């Protein structure tokens, strides 16, 4: 069997074939594991490839086959929606099944999102997935009309059958019920309103919990917008502390848009000598592991990222294999409340009055 006689630069299967004295067709079939290539020949090809440091282009192989082992994933950016941990979990799940991620960013622009998905299709990816998609159901259907395996994960627009997401309403229902059971009767929502699909789902959960307690939603819940001119959610949370404490001192609990905003809020409350959870209970969203190491540890809603990504991987791979069956309804993974140190029973009226005096500069 012909061997490489000396170290040589190999840039393609054609170079490898020439060095081995084999046809390019034989080398290609050996690399792809096809039948009809002898065991000794296949072994020689692998050894020569290793000795030369050559690695065939999986993308080029995929273009010849009509499909690659890459999954095209489009995200709006890497800062919002807690996408870093989601992408890592998705990468890990897909990698265990022989697939690799190819990531494109839309910069929160629906036209750019469509362009990214078009580019993925041109690269013959095995499937596509989107996070926080802004495409309408009509545009999404047009882009996937040829049956390319696809999945929308937590779309911001629409929720058709080919989507999978987090049941935010359930997590908010648990959070609101938790605070009501602790005696809180004036709860602030920080950065959670009617402006987005995610926030509207969380509002539904809060309304359900208040209604089940036979209480008046308008009396229990008060919404506070955040200052969007500030750069980060940490700053927005910190800036909101004084407003919450000074304008509505009877508020005894806050549910924030996310953990970063909740952390900024706690920092602002501490600067105002408002103790958490003694004076104010705080709940975040995302259950970031880092916040187990701050004091107090943050009570937060866990979006169940690993379960969501495991289900997304299964759904996409089944679709790639042609084994997926449509249920006709969106699928949801329940977000769950994780109770830690930042929530506690509401203080007595005397304690509330003492806090009011402390913040307006008078002695109780």
**Tokens 């690399």 -> residue:** 31
Rounded CA-CA distance 213/207 in Å is: 10
For residues 274 and 180, membership in a common domain is answered with yes
Query: Is the omega angle on the peptide bond into residue 277 within 30 degrees of 0, that is, cis?
Result: yes
How far CA 237 is from CA of 66, 243, 257, 276, 339, in Å, comes to 50, 10, 9, 14, 20
Q: What is the count of structural domains for the chain? A: 3
Q: Specify if 331 maps to a domain.
A: no
CATH code of the domain in which 185 resides: 3.40.50.2300
For residues 274 and 342, membership in a common domain is answered with yes
What confidence score (pLDDT) does residue 139 get? 86
Q: Are 309 and 93 in contact (CB under 8 A)?
A: yes
Question: Which tens digit of pLDDT belongs to each residue from 106-164?
Answer: 998 999 999 999 899 888 899 999 999 999 888 888 877 778 888 999 998 876 556 88
Write the CB contacts of 151 (distance below 8 Å, at least 6 apart in sequence): 127, 128, 129, 130, 162, 163, 164, 312, 315, 316, 319
Rounded CA-CA distance 86/82 in Å is: 7
- Residue 3 confidence (pLDDT) above 60: no
Rounded CA-CA distance 330/160 in Å is: 6
Coil, strand or helix at 74:
strand
Residue range 234-263: mean pLDDT, rounded: 92
What confidence score (pLDDT) does residue 55 get? 60
Q: What is the share, in percent, of the chain residues with pLDDT greater than 90?
A: 44
Estimate to the nearest angstrom the gap between the alpha carbon of 333 and the chain centroid: 12
What confidence score (pLDDT) does residue 65 get? 47
Residue range 62-75: mean pLDDT, rounded: 71
Question: Which tens digit of pLDDT belongs to each residue from 305-335?
Answer: 999 989 988 888 888 888 765 554 458 899 9
Residue range 88-104: mean pLDDT, rounded: 89
Q: Specify if 150 maps to a domain.
A: yes
User: For residue 97, what are the domain limits?
Assistant: 65-158
What confidence score (pLDDT) does residue 29 get? 67
DSSP string, 88-147: HHHHHHHHTTT-EEEEEE-TT-HHHHHHHHHHHHHTT-SEEEEES----HHHHHHHTTT-
For the chain, how far is it from start to end, CA to CA, in angstroms? Answer: 95
What's 195's DSSP letter?
S
Q: Specify if 322 maps to a domain.
A: no
What confidence score (pLDDT) does residue 66 get? 45
Most confident of 2-11, 25-34, 212-221, 326-335: 212-221
For residues 21 and 97, membership in a common domain is answered with no
Sheet containing 127-131: order of strands: 100-105, 70-75, 127-131, 150-153, 163-167, 331-334
Q: Specify if 6 maps to a domain.
A: no
For residues 260 and 201, membership in a common domain is answered with yes
Cβ-in-10-Å burial (0-12, 13-18, 19+) of 79 comes to exposed
Predicted TM-score (pTM) above 0.85: no
Structure tokens at 260: 């970063």
Last residue of a domain, one of 158, 189, 205: 158
For residues 145 and 173, membership in a common domain is answered with no
Rounded CA-CA distance 343/207 in Å is: 20
Write the CB contacts of 46 (distance below 8 Å, at least 6 apart in sequence): 30
Rounded CA-CA distance 347/326 in Å is: 51
Q: What is the share, in percent, of the chain residues with pLDDT greater than 70?
A: 80
For residues 210 and 356, membership in a common domain is answered with yes
């Amino acid at each position: 069997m012909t061997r490489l006689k000396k170290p040589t630069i190999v840039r393609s299967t054609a170079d490898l074939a020439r060095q081995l004295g084999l046809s390019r067709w034989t080398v290609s079939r050996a690399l792809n594991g096809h039948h009809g290539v002898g065991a000794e020949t296949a072994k020689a090809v692998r050894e020569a490839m290793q000795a030369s440091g050559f690695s065939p282009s999986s993308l080029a192989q995929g273009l010849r086959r009509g499909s690659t082992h890459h999954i095209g994933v489009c995200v709006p950016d890497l800062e919002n929606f807690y996408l870093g941990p989601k992408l890592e979990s998705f990468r890990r799940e897909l990698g265990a099944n022989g697939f690799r991620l190819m990531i494109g960013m839309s910069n929160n622009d629906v036209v750019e999102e469509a362009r990214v998905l078009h580019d993925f299709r041109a690269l013959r990816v095995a499937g596509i997935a989107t996070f926080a998609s802004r495409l309408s159901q009509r545009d999404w259907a047009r882009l996937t009309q040829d049956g390319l395996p696809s999945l929308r994960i937590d779309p911001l627009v629409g929720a058709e059958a080919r989507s999978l997401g987090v049941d935010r309403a359930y997590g908010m229902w648990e959070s609101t019920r938790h605070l009501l059971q602790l005696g809180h009767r004036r709860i602030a929502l920080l950065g959670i309103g009617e402006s987005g699909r995610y926030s509207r789902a969380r509002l539904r959960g809060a309304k359900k919990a208040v209604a089940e307690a036979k209480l008046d939603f308008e009396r229990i819940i008060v919404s506070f917008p955040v200052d969007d001119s500030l750069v980060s959610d940490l700053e927005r949370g910190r800036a909101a502390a004084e407003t919450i404490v000074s304008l509505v001192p009877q508020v005894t609990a806050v549910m924030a848009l996310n953990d970063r905003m909740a952390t900024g809020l706690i920092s602002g409350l501490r600067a105002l000598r408002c103790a958490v959870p003694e004076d104010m209970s705080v709940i975040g969203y995302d259950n970031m592991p880092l916040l187990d190491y701050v004091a107090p540890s943050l009570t937060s809603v866990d979006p169940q990222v690993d379960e969501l990504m495991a289900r997304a991987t299964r759904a996409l791979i089944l679709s790639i294999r042609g084994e997926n069956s449509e249920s006709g309804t969106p699928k949801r993974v329940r977000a769950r409340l994780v109770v830690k140190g930042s929530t506690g029973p509401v203080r007595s009226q005397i304690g509330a009055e003492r806090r009011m005096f402390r913040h307006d500069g008078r002695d109780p």
